[in-house]
Amino acid sequence: MKSKNIFIFSIILLLSNIVLSQEKKFNIEECKKIDRNEFIEIQKTNPKIIIKSIFENGKPYTKKEMDSLIKNSKIQNYTQIFLKDTINNELVILNKELTKEEIKNKETEQKRKIKAEKEYRNELDGSKLEELNLEDINGVKFNLENLKGKVIVLNFWFTQCKPCVAEFPELNNIKEKYKNQDVEFFAVTWNNKETIEKFLLNHKLDFNIIPNGKLIIDKFKIPHYPYNIVIDKNGKVEYINDVLVLNVLKKLDNKVSELLKK
């Protein structure tokens, strides 16, 4: 009887420890905070690395949990914090619930940011660039001086963007259409050279590939991907993309044809 009681007590203790471990708040101080891009790069270069998606209490953030949050319109009340656990060599996505004040501040900041970026792009649209510096994957440098008299097409993308990759065949066709004419095509991405070289082994993109393009991405305040910009022979910015624009690549094709005739 005594042995049976000890066994039952041991089971209860074990279950209690499991519950306590699940409810233990995740200690963010044990990890290094990184941004989304760095998170993706680490995952890309080390595909076997363990990735955990959790809540602050350590509970796993599963698809079921996500579906529940979406169903109850609470998904926007969470923000993702990307972390690198250097001790266990793991990547962690911490799904942090925002306070009411944080939610309000987030909404206000998003509206402010969208408005500011739209105003900036409207101001830049039709303006003349003072400088444009690009270096392709082969180390060839381009600027407004050596691109003078040419139409410039900038396509903004990244390797994990499926809509970006889906555009490649049509973009290649446009590039071929204007072969040997006064137009240069550039594909700008924040991905690094090594990542792009591996990616291009299985994907064809005939543009001049510009890796590590965060500076130019920030310069034009690119709001989403894919995104395309055309610059005329005199350095004047002509925007192509907008959230509501249909047949974007057809519009891009028409714009290039129009500017080449000027």
Which residue matches tokens 């963010």? 28
Q: Which residue in 168, 230, 233, 175 sits closest to 204, CA to CA?
A: 168
Residue 149 carries which side chain, given as an amino acid letter? G
Q: Are 227 and 156 in contact (CB under 8 A)?
A: yes
pTM score: 0.61
- Residue-level pLDDT, tens digit, the chain, 262 residues: 545 444 444 444 444 444 444 445 567 777 889 988 888 888 888 888 889 899 988 899 998 888 888 888 888 889 999 999 888 888 999 999 999 998 888 888 888 877 877 777 777 777 889 899 999 999 999 999 999 999 999 999 999 999 999 999 999 999 999 999 999 999 999 999 999 999 999 999 999 999 999 999 998 888 888 999 999 999 999 877 655 456 888 889 999 999 999 8
Give every CB contact of residue 244 below 8 A, 6+ residues apart in sequence.
none
Write the secondary structure of the chain as one string of H (helix), E (strand) and C (coil). CHHHHHHHHHHHHHHHHHHHHHHCCCCHHHCEEECHHHHHHHHHHCCCCEEEEEECCCCECCHHHHHHHHHCCCHHHEEEEEEEECCCCEEEEEEEECCHHHHHHHHHHHHHHHHHHHHHHHHHCCCECCCCCEECCCCCEECCCCCCCCEEEEEECCCCCHHHHHCHHHHHHHHHHCCCCCEEEEEECCCCHHHHHHHCCCCCCCCEEECCCHHHHHHHCCCCCCEEEEECCCCEEEECCCCCCCCHHHHHHHHHHHHHCC
